Amino acid sequence: MVGTAELAAMKRTAFVVNTARGGIVDETALYLALKEKTIAGAGVDPFVVEPAPPDTPLFELDNIIVSPHSAGVTEEAMYRMSYWAAKNVVDCFDGKLNPENVVNQEVLS
């Protein structure tokens, strides 16, 4: 979604922040834009490869902030994921399954 053309169209004072998914921002294009100062900086949580390898070129730059993309592994997040997964199984057997929680809707008919 954000590659060389999109980064080039941004102001030099722009900051790119990706907290969604790795690959939404082309990492090579972002590296070049940051290195050449086409944009001011970036904040990146997810990378295409998780965890990002230590030799990731973006790590060499001083105009980027990165985080380890680990919010989903907190104690609270693990509890909630486990709770809702178990609840969905029980709801299925009780005939109360919420169709919005089913990815492959065709199995419901």
**Domain ranges (residues) in the chain:** 4-69, 72-108
Q: What span, in angstroms and rounded, lies between the C-alpha atoms of 56 and 35? A: 14
Q: What span, in angstroms and rounded, lies between the C-alpha atoms of 25 and 64? A: 13
pTM: 0.68
Q: How do residues 29-68 score in pLDDT, each as one tens digit? A: 999 999 999 999 999 999 999 889 999 999 999 999 999 8
Strand partners, 64: 42
DSSP string, 21-61: -TTSB-HHHHHHHHHTTSSSEEEE---SSSSPPTT-GGGG-
Which one is the CATH code of 4-69: 3.40.50.720, 3.30.70.360, 1.10.3720.10, 3.40.720.10? 3.40.50.720
The residues assigned a catalytic role are: 21, 50, 69
Furthest-apart CA atoms within the chain: distance in Å: 59
